[in-house]
Amino acid sequence: MNKKRALVKIIILFFILIIIAYFNITYGLHLFEKSSDIDKTILLNLRLPRAVLAILAGGSLSICGAALQGVFRNSLVEPYTLGVSGGAAVGVAVALSLSLNKIFGVFLLISAGFLGAILVLLLLYVIAIKNYKLDIKTLLLIGVMISFISSSVLMLILAVSNTQNLHGIIFWMMGSLSNAQNNLNIALGCITLFGLLIFYLFANKLNALQFGYDKGATLGVNVEQVIKITVILSSLLTAASVSVTGIIGFIGLIIPHIMRKLFYNDFRILFIASFLGGAIFLMLSDFIASKIIYPNELPVGVVTGILGGIFFIYIFRKEKRA
């Protein structure tokens, strides 16, 4: 793709993100009136941190999806395919069922989710490693199986939890940005920007792998190293995001797919575009979730699931016709 055209599209995505963010955080507020102190408090303490979390979580899941689809050369792979999100969900569900969050606060939930995801990552690595090399097919298969096992464990936890804890577990499983806090955003922002930087440094190597693993090796790419770093880094970024927001599906599957149509397979551009696209999609979904049944609020994962499913069916049918 022509670099100037790609840059113009990136700038357009950036301005779309700014417009949606501004509309999202200021909608219904009267910031320029004398009696707007309450509105300013809502803006700074609730809506702005929530918007920042939407940008970080949506962008993080999207770049993970782009990286995994590139390294596995499969457009149906997403961050949740490896079962890391299932491990995070089990960790948080255990903490909620034991009411540990009431004792230690929201940071305990995030730590429990991150710990569950790390344990799944270690399990994947131990099972899929053969002669110091990751077996791609085994990795994907075990990841899918761990997702099923995690779902069963979650059902078991739901079955034995009391009514009060049950509501919290279900709401978290459906995804929410209600845990947005400045300190959490700073931590997630550092992790996300670090991941984006590392992925960007490996962009040319991922470009080479699109011609096949053997061809990539002949071009001087350490295929095994790229696969390991991509899987580990994607798992850590997904774990961090899921631990804060819960399970928010389809972003890592749909957005990289759409961005690839707009920017092709140049990962130097695709990572930036995917980050912006994921941020836009999650922020727009959060706005819909918070307003569609106002004053009540839908979990944002419900909206991303519906919109993502519709997008996926549309793209699948369009490609099938082509």
Q: Which CATH superfamily is domain 49-321 in?
A: ABC transporter involved in vitamin B12 uptake, BtuC (1.10.3470.10)
Q: Report pLDDT digits (tens) over 127-142.
A: 877 766 777 777 788 8
Confidence of residue 36 (pLDDT cuts 50, 70, 90): low
Tokens of 154: 């979650």
pLDDT score of 35 = 52
Identity of residue 309: G
Tokens of 276: 């912006």
Query: Is the per-residue pLDDT at 64 higher than 80?
Result: yes
pTM to 2 decimal places: 0.88
Tokens of 58: 């949506």
Query: Is the per-residue pLDDT at 15 higher than 80?
Result: yes
pLDDT score of 320 = 66
pLDDT score of 282 = 93
Report the range of poorest mean pLDDT among 110-119, 128-137, 194-203, 303-312. 128-137
pLDDT score of 62 = 92
pLDDT score of 139 = 79
Query: Is the per-residue pLDDT at 47 higher than 80?
Result: yes
In degrees and rounded to multiples of 5, residue 130 shows phi and psi of: -140, 120
Query: Is the per-residue pLDDT at 14 higher than 90?
Result: yes
CA 149, chain centre distance (Å) = 21
Percentage of the chain modeled with pLDDT above 90: 11
Helix axes 136-160, 106-128, angle to 10 degrees: 140
Q: Report pLDDT digits (tens) over 250-266.
A: 888 889 888 888 887 78
Q: Which residue has the higher pLDDT, 94 or 136?
A: 94
Helix axes 300-321, 251-263, angle to 10 degrees: 40
pLDDT score of 31 = 67
pLDDT score of 247 = 84
**Average of pLDDT values for 298-316?**
82
pLDDT score of 225 = 83
Q: Write out the chain in H/E/C secondary structure.
A: CCHHHHHHHHHHHHHHHHHHHHHHHHCCCCCCCCCCHHHHHHHHHHHHHHHHHHHHHHHHHHHHHHHHHHHHCCCCCCHHHHCHHHHHHHHHHHHHHCCHHHHHCHHHHHHHHHHHHHHHHHHHHHHHEECCEECHHHHHHHHHHHHHHHHHHHHHHHHHCCHHHHHHHHHHHCCCCCCCCHHHHHHHHHHHHHHHHHHHHCHHHHHHHCCCHHHHHHCCCCHHHHHHHHHHHHHHHHHHHHHHHCCCCCHHHHHHHHHHHHHCCCHHHHHHHHHHHHHHHHHHHHHHHHHCCCCCCCCHHHHHHHHHHHHHHHHHHHHHHC
Q: What is the mean pLDDT of the chain?
A: 83
Confidence of residue 310 (pLDDT cuts 50, 70, 90): confident
pLDDT score of 316 = 72
